[in-house]
């Protein structure tokens, strides 16, 4: 089985013909399915673009959302919309709604969007201000009340997704897989937050990492040494390959606005189901 991994493709920035050309590149890989680790478009265009992609490539698309996918929208409304889309479109699988996917007899796929939680780096003294707190209604409402309220909201969102990921992993492990692939948007470890070849500094780390997610992944991987965990992420636009534990690998894809690309073709060697 061959899986084409994409991340931070921001297809809302492209004209229709440019998107079609990108879909043709995906088709030429002869992949069996597509994995996307967030930042597909923005809330108003997300459903149309996902549907267009699925219709064009005619392959299952397994995905999580990134922060940009919530731009110009409200978090609960976007999630309700994606849950409905997953139910009605046979080729689209938003993993928080569709849950665990058995790719072959040895491999399980699951994912949660994940959010930066401000726990790594120096949130209090950071001079960074992302558009998230302007263009995502929920974060904007928190930001206008102050930096502490914004941090609390970030951590609330990160904790919800991290806890659901923990539950998903616990269920997946009971199926006795040899490999679990996890999709998420925000990298879970400092060492995976790379931009222009360097690990992000304390100014950027609060917005580029999810420590709570990293803590959960570490604990579960340590308790299940016979399972190989591969975590695919995006968000930073900087390529990274971090071996956190012998059985826990983190990959982060590189990206440029207006130039979506295919990160990797992942080949599964397990027996088909």
- pLDDT tens digits, one per residue of 122-140: 999 999 989 999 999 999 9
Given the DSSP bridges, would you call strands 262-267 and 2-6 parallel, antiparallel or unpaired? antiparallel
Task: Quote the percentage of the chain above a pLDDT of 90.
Answer: 96
Q: What is the average pLDDT score of the chain?
A: 96
Q: Which of 79, 111, 121 is nearest to 205 (CA)?
A: 121
* 118 conformational bin, left if phi > 0, alpha if psi -120 to 50, beta if neither: left
pTM over 0.95: yes
Torsion, CA 176, CA 7, CA 167, CA 117, rounded to 10: 140
CA distance 241 to 205: 17
- pLDDT tens digits, one per residue of 204-232: 999 999 999 999 999 999 999 999 999 99
pLDDT at 271: 52
What ranges do the domains of the chain cover? 2-267
Non-local (6+) Cβ contacts of 70 within 8 A are 43, 78, 132, 136
The mean per-residue pLDDT over the stretch 96-122 comes to 96
| Residue 101: CB atoms within 10 Å | 17
pLDDT at 269: 79
What's domain 2-267's architecture?
4-Layer Sandwich (3.60)
- pLDDT tens digits, one per residue of 233-250: 999 999 999 999 999 999
Given the DSSP bridges, would you call strands 33-37 and 2-6 parallel, antiparallel or unpaired? parallel
pLDDT at 273 over 60: no
Task: Quote the percentage of the chain above a pLDDT of 70.
Answer: 99
- pLDDT tens digits, one per residue of 161-207: 999 999 999 999 999 999 999 999 999 999 999 988 899 999 999 99
Under the banding of pLDDT at 50, 70 and 90, the label for residue 272 is very low
- pLDDT tens digits, one per residue of 15-30: 999 999 999 999 999 9
């Amino acid at each position: 089985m061959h899986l084409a991994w994409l991340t931070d493709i921001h297809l809302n920035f492209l004209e229709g013909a440019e998107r079609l050309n990108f879909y043709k590149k995906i088709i030429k890989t002869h992949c069996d399915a597509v994995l996307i680790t967030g930042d597909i478009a923005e809330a108003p265009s997300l459903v149309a673009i996902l549907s267009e992609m699925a219709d064009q490539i005619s392959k299952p698309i397994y995905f999580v959302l990134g922060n940009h996918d919530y731009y110009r929208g409200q978090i609960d409304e976007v999630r309700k919309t994606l849950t409905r889309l997953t139910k009605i479109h046979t080729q689209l699988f938003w993993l928080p709604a569709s849950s665990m996917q058995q790719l072959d007899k040895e491999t399980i796929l699951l994912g949660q969007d994940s959010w930066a939680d401000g726990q790594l780096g120096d949130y209090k003294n950071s001079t960074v201000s992302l558009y998230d707190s302007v263009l995502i209604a929920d974060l904007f409402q928190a930001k206008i009340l102050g930096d502490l309220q914004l941090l609390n909201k970030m951590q609330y969102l990160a904790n919800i997704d991290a806890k659901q990921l923990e539950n998903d992993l616990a269920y997946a492990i009971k199926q006795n897989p040899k490999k679990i692939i996890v999709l998420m948007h925000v990298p879970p470890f400092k060492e995976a937050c790379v931009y222009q070849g360097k690990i992000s500094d304390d100014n950027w780390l609060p917005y580029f990492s999810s420590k709570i997610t990293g803590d959960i992944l570490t604990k579960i991987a340590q308790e299940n040494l016979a399972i190989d965990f591969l975590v695919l992420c995006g968000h930073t636009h900087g390529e990274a390959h971090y071996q956190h534990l012998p059985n826990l690998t983190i990959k982060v894809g590189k990206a440029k606005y207006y130039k979506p690309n295919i990160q990797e073709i992942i080949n599964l060697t397990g027996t088909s189901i």
